[in-house]
């Protein structure tokens, strides 16, 4: 029984190592094709999420997010100043 557990644990360890190298190869292949992938921390989860973008998409998303934030901040500023009159 002990031998079975030892063999099983070695199998799990080596299977985990083999799967991580294939992930790195997939990331390298996607980078050559114009896709950029990264691991992002997600709130409420210990596991990072893999997110892929085409070239230029990340900057575009960041720009739109900044514009939306600025728009919301200005909208709230107008409400506060008009309600105190």
Q: Is the per-residue pLDDT at 31 higher than 60?
A: no
pLDDT for residue 30: 55
Dihedral of the alpha carbons of 64, 68, 69, 74, in degrees to the nearest 10: 140
- With bands split at pLDDT 50, 70 and 90, how would you rate the model's confidence at 35? confident
Six-digit token string for 31 = 């980078």
Encode pLDDT of 37-70 as tens digits. Answer: 899 999 999 999 999 988 889 889 999 999 999 9
Domain segments of the chain as ranges: 1-54, 56-85
- With bands split at pLDDT 50, 70 and 90, how would you rate the model's confidence at 77? confident
DSSP 73: H
């Amino acid at each position: 029984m002990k031998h079975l557990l030892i063999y099983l644990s070695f199998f799990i360890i080596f299977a985990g190592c083999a799967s991580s190298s294939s992930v790195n190869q997939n990331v390298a292949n996607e980078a050559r094709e114009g896709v950029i992938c990264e691991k992002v921390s997600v709130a409420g989860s210990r596991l990072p999420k893999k997110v892929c973008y085409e070239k230029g998409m990340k900057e575009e998303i960041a720009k739109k997010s900044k514009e939306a934030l600025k728009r919301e901040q200005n909208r709230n500023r107008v409400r506060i100043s008009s309600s105190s009159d």
